[in-house]
Structure 1
Amino acid sequence: MSTVLSHLEDGVLTLTLNRPEALNALNLAMIEDLRAATARAEHDEAVGAVVLRGGEHFMAGGDLKWFHSQLALPPAERQALFEQTIAAVHATTLQVRRMGKPVVASVSGAAAGFGLSLMLACDLAVAADNAYFTLAYCHIGLSPDGGATWFLPRAVGAKRAAEIALLGDRFDAAQAKEWGLINRVVPAAELEAESAKLARRLAAGPRQALARTKALLQASSGNSLPEQLFAEQGNFAACSVHPDFAEGLGAFLEKRKPAFGQK
């Protein structure tokens, strides 16, 4: 059975992590299944938005039993193995960021280690009120992966990022929202419905404009203001010749809901 389940409906691709017996801890099979699922989502024109969820728990980090089994390897061999493994993990991070579709993390229970990194890679995050978070790597003598050290300082500032990464303390959904790591906190019983509602709204939007907006937001941290302004003007102009622009204007003037994506 796949460790990542896929379901496409109304332009929303829901990817469900599927190792509930291990709190969705990341193992080699899930690394490959996540990479493959996000690659398909990136290139599937039927997909307008993605929901990434985990059921009772989002993801409790890496599979520590597998980590422990690798201690028997000679150090040089172990180092090479882990470098190759983390490179494969990072393919998912890059695909989530690169794809021209909004990705919504739907988080309940544990989001630890790479689970937190994966949530940070998503564009939006909705968390249940029972969700809890920890970067946790320091507790087993590891440094973070999955882009956590890139996302955290940009989300919460350098000092808060250092606190989260160096101490590895657990914090709850209310704290995560206050720090700007998630967008919304909802009752656990409403998480699935609220996440799907948000994703359907995104999937029904002007997909090419949202893809350009996502790319602009990501480019902003590496651009000077003149560079970003130039990128904005080029993307704005490109949007102006897309049918969604005429549809959006017409819907506004006619006081109706726009039907984006029509030929």
Structure 2
Amino acid sequence: MSNDAYSTLRVTSEHGVARIVLDNPPVNVIDVTMMRELRTVLTALADDPSVRVIVFSSADPEFFLAHVDMRIGERMDALQELSASAPADINVFQAVGELVRHLPQTTIVKLAGQARGGGAEFVAAADMAFAAVETAGLGQIEALMGIVPGGGGTQYLRDRVGRNRALEVILTADLFDAETAASYGWINRAVPADELDEYVDRVARHIAALPDGVVEAAKRALPADDFKEGLLRENDAWATTISLPAAQRLIGEGLRDGAQTPAGERDLEGLMRGIAP
């Protein structure tokens, strides 16, 4: 599998484990290019019987996936082209998470840094996620931008943590530490940072070494839930809020004040709360 085809991903495969390193400097935003490349590589891997496990990690130890590119509206032509190739009844952002959720392989997120918004949705879409106790963080930042999650987050969160905690995550828009996320069931386990690589590698190797047919049988017996109606409701809610003047102002002023720069992203919640109402 050649990395020459990708500008935001680094992909390797060995002994039944494919490793996808997310690499879109400066803070790993999910832009149109990354969404296109993820859909390309994951569609190809879905048809590769030699791969039993897919591990996602980040080239940036601070940021797994920051969130969806706040400037994505400036690439409307490319976004519409990508949207046209998405499955029916889901939007372009939901298409990424749904592809991850329905892969035949076991998918694992190795979370060393922060994942917000669409990045947190990506984490919740994977079969398993393990996070570094000292450095990882998860948050649905959207409410501070005047919108709601639009990439599957409402449905994935409710499935993982229950309605009450999903509302807490979405409406507080806080950054949750790894231990709290694990206690909520948002991720599988919080692991000391210096043990994270070894732990995830061991899990991936052990699953990939299982006898033929076991991974496939387990995933057939435990299929991903059907969120079709919920995803439609989510898209309607997101589309309603993103069109409001308040959302456009908050996003614009967030970018002005440092969002999507390393300094701004380290405390994006504080930055967004500091914008005048």
Question: What TM-score range do you get, normalising by the shorter chain?
Answer: 0.7 to 0.9
Report Cα offsets for 1:193-216 as digits up to 9, x if no partner.
221221111111135232232233
1:103 aligns with 2:107: yes
User: Quick check: 1:32–1:88 contact (8 Å CA) kept in 2?
Assistant: no
Corresponding position of 1:58: 64
Corresponding position of 2:8: 3
Alignment equivalent of 2:19, drawn from 14, 26, 44:
14
Corresponding position of 2:215: 210
Corresponding position of 2:40: 36
Greater helix fraction, Structure 1 or Structure 2: 1
Alignment equivalent of 2:191, drawn from 186, 201, 218:
186
Which stretch shows the higher mean deviation, 173-182 or 82-91? 82-91
Cα distance in 1 for residues equivalent to 2:174 and 2:186: 15
Report Cα offsets for 1:56-110 as digits up to 9, x if no partner.
121010112344x47xx8xxx9x97896698333332222122211000111111
- Give the CA deviation at 1:189: 2.8
Q: Equivalent pairs: percent with the same residue?
A: 30
Cα distance in 2 for residues equivalent to 1:219 and 1:187: 29
Corresponding position of 1:242: none
Question: Residues 219 and 62 (structure 1 numbering): CA distance in 2 closer, same or farther, change over 3 Å?
Answer: closer
- Give the CA deviation at 1:221: 7.4
User: Quick check: 1:101–1:211 contact (8 Å CA) kept in 2?
Assistant: yes
Structure of greater Rg: 1
Corresponding position of 1:91: 95
- What are structure 1's unaligned runs of at least 5 residues? 223-263
1:112 aligns with 2:116: yes
User: Quick check: 1:131–1:172 contact (8 Å CA) kept in 2?
Assistant: yes
Cα distance in 2 for residues equivalent to 1:125 and 1:137: 21
Matches within 5 A, 1:214-233: 214-218=219-223
- What are structure 2's unaligned runs of at least 5 residues? 1-5, 228-277
Corresponding position of 2:233: none
**Please, what is the CA RMSD of the aligned residues?**
2.6
Corresponding position of 1:196: 201
Length-normalised TM-score, structure 1: 0.74
Alignment equivalent of 1:160, drawn from 165, 189, 207:
165
User: Quick check: 1:8–1:14 contact (8 Å CA) kept in 2?
Assistant: yes
Number of aligned positions between the proteins? 215
Which stretch shows the higher mean deviation, 29-38 or 203-212? 203-212
Question: Residues 108 and 200 (structure 1 numbering): CA distance in 2 closer, same or farther, change over 3 Å?
Answer: same
Corresponding position of 2:240: none
Which stretch shows the higher mean deviation, 4-13 or 94-103? 94-103
1:140 aligns with 2:145: yes
- Three-state SS of the structure 2 residue aligned to 1:33 is helix
Report Cα offsets for 1:122-153 as digits up to 9, x if no partner.
01111112101111111112221222111111
Question: Residues 135 and 97 (structure 1 numbering): CA distance in 2 closer, same or farther, change over 3 Å?
Answer: same
Corresponding position of 1:122: 126
1:174 aligns with 2:188: no
- Three-state SS of the structure 2 residue aligned to 1:161 is helix
Length-normalised TM-score, structure 2: 0.70
1:27 aligns with 2:31: yes
Corresponding position of 2:155: 150
| Structure 1 residue ranges (4+ consecutive) displaced by more than 3 angstroms after TM superposition | 79-86, 219-222
Question: Residues 220 and 66 (structure 1 numbering): CA distance in 2 closer, same or farther, change over 3 Å?
Answer: closer
